[in-house]
Structure formats: C-alpha cells, structure tokens
Amino acid sequence: MVKRFFGTDGIRGQVGEYPVSVDFVLKLGWAAGKVFGDTLTSGHGRKLILIGKDTRVSGYMFESALQAGIIAAGVDVSLLGPMPTPAVSYLTRTFRAQAGIVISASHNPFQDNGIKFFGADGFKLPDEVEHEIERFLDLDITTSESINLGRAHRVADAAGRYVEFCKGTLPYRFSLTGVKLVVDCANGATYHVAPDVLRELGASVLELGVQPDGININEGCGSTSPERLREKVLEAGADVGIALDGDGDRVLFIDHKGNEVDGDQLLYIIARSRQANGNACSGVAGTLMSNFGLEKAMAELGVPFIRTQVGDRYVIEAMRERNWDLGGESSGHIVCGDITTTGDGIVAALQILKAILESGQSLYELKKGMNKLPQTMINVPVTNVVDLSDKCVTAAVNSAEQTLAGNGRVLLRPSGTEPIVRVMVEGEDLALVKTLAHKLADVVEAAAAQC
C-alpha cells in the first residue's frame, strides 16, 4: 500500500497548506490516540503519548491541535515543550509511553513544519503502524465519554532528564576540562540543552544560535549554514565547532583550521576510534549519498559497509537487521545504536569529542584518515517520470563507470520531493568527475525530453 501522508520522516510541508494544517493535525492526533490507545495496547493500564516540538512559532498551534485530538481519543498527553527530536525518542522509552510525537521540520525554514512519531521502543514507526493511522484518518472523529477523556500535563524537568542521559553516554570521570569549543544550536530545540551538556562536562563553551524567536530557526546558522560558526572558531581559537540543526538530530563539525567535517567523516572517526580502543565496530550503514571515500576507508579498517536508501529510517532498519551499532548520512544524521535508537546530534558530538581526547590528536588530524573523494552533483529538471533504464542512459552510465575504473561511482536518483533527477559522480580526479557528470546530465536531459 502506498502511504498518502507519511514520507520517509513523518508528515512535512508548509504551514497552513494541507496536510500541515490545524484541522488535519487535530484529526491526526485523534487517529494516533485511537491507534496507540486502543489498537496497540491491551486496553488496560495507562495510555500516554508524549509531545515535543522545536522552536517554530507554529509549534504552539500544532501542539494544541494534537493535544485536543489525543485527549478526545481517551489518551493522556505529556507536554515536553521545546525538545530535540532524539530527546523525545529517549523520554518515550523512559516514561513507558505508547508513543512520542515531535512537531518539527528539522533543518527546514520556519515556514515549514511537520509531525513525526516514535513508537514505545523509541524507534520510528514501521510502515504498518503508519498505514493504520492513515486508516483512522478516513473515519469521523468520535469523542470519548467525559469520564474516559485523556488528561494533559507539562513535564517540568524534561530538559534536565535529557541532559543527564547525554552525559551518561560517556565513561565515568570523562571530562572536557581544557577543551574550548563553539556550539551553534540553530536557534532550535537544542538551545537550552546542548550548552548545558558540554559545560557540565567541563568544556569552555561559546554559544551561537541560542536565542530562538519562533522564526529564526535554521536562519543563517546551524548545520545547514556553518559559515558563522567557522568564523567564530577561528576568531576564538577554539578546538572545534559543533553545528546542530533545528531539531537536534544532525551534527557537523568545524575543525580548528576552519574546515567542515561532515557526517561521512564523523562516521569514519567514530568507527576508527572504536576499533582502536578494542570495541570492534561490527559494521557501518551509510546511504546512496555517502562519499565513496567512506566506503574505501571502511574497507581499509576491515569494517563491513553497506548503502541504503536516503533517510535515517532506512539506515536504522539496516543496522537492526544486521545487529550493527553505527550508521548515518553525509548530512550529519549519526546513529549510535548501542547508545540510542535514532540520530542524535549531541550524542554523536560527544562520541567525536571522546575520540579526540582518547587519541590525543586534533579533529583536523583524525579526519585525514579518510580521503573524501571529489564529487559533482547536477540536478536535472524533469517534467515527467524519466526512464533511467533507457538504453542511452544505461550506456552512458556504463561508460562513465568504466572510465572511473573502480575508483569512483555514478548515481542517478530521482528526487522524492522535487521534479528533478540528481546526477552524481565521484572519483579521484575532480576534472574528470565534472566532465562525466555533465555528460550524464545531458543524456538524462535528452531522455527526459522524450518522455
């Protein structure tokens, strides 16, 4: 069955445009309450759903709509306020709740918002549960009898609980004393959490992006715009800079020389650190967009590596199938499966800081072990679905792959959100990579014109 509303990471869109509208979200809350309150429980005991959000101005509106729908379905609600997405996953487990809901559009601008769910186990929902929620969306809302209505309360110490969890992911007596760093919280959900975690571990912390006003989330800051962070790291002579995104499930670093360190490089550093300290890395799951240099670096470490579809849910599925503990995306979604159940920017940042201190090397030195291959990406506009199995397209791909001779790769991928085909080529020679990418783009464009 094809899902009508749920994408790879919940439901997302522009505020006020269906389905990211108050009426839909009200019904979505009711549908979720029915599924988690009736369908997925025995009907006995406490029924509870947590709601967290990032700092978008529309979050208050959608929080109220979700709350009303869930309560109408006869399920209690615990309101967490602004909290990182991974914190909601963690607190859903510790509260023994039936589900957790996050109101966020992650790294998108404030005009967008979305709803994503976690199950009682802290993992994102399987397809069958999303289908069940969509089935209830086709029904009329019915309100429970007054005696059976849910109740709502705010969790006063949610941030403190998550701060303690993050610190507890490191060994006892681990200290960041003497480490000078800059953290950019993107004016998002980590603004009141990440600086506290780092300071309580002993670091000297300079803060950026910690004054959310409802509309400045991800605006010229955070992991999608690290320029300001780079300037601050160099100006302050900091050891590293840490850039989180609006909901705290992504992280990127800036080293002391001002170089950006992306998700692929962070995965390599964590995997190598674990190998070096006797904690064998069973395998790493990347995506179709992971740099070929990561694949080569994992082979050199003797660590199995696979690629999944783009999206952290697919990375996590692959990790769980193989009982692996590490995976992520180039964008900075890093999943440490032995620590938590979803991508967590703060937890991943702490793992990198641990690797730096244990190795005695700088971040600049650690990332040198992975040779990130040059990459060229061209977005080819299309008006119709392009047949990428067309003989002209496949012949061009085969020719490019033969030219790369095993020292690079080619990827053609239709976008899931835009009318474009992404043409990506990686290889050791940047000039060759650019030439091949433009040739392939021309072939794809010609194939699109024939559709």
Q: Please name which of 327, 326, 228 lies closest in space to residue 280, comparing C-alpha atoms.
A: 326
* Tokens 């904690």 -> residue: 279
Strand 240-244 and strand 251-254: pairing?
antiparallel
Q: How many other CB atoms are found less than 10 A from the CB of residue 38?
A: 15
* Tokens 């702490």 -> residue: 350
362 is catalytic: no
Catalytic, out of 78, 106, 273, 330: 106
The set of residues, in sequence order, having a beta carbon less than 8 Å from that of 130 and lying 6+ positions away, is 3, 6, 117
* Tokens 């660590």 -> residue: 303
> Is residue 253 within 8 Å of residue 240, measured between CB atoms?
yes
Separation of alpha carbons 31 and 43, rounded Å: 16
Separation of alpha carbons 418 and 380, rounded Å: 10
Distance of CA 363 to the CA centre of its chain: 22
Catalytic residues: 106
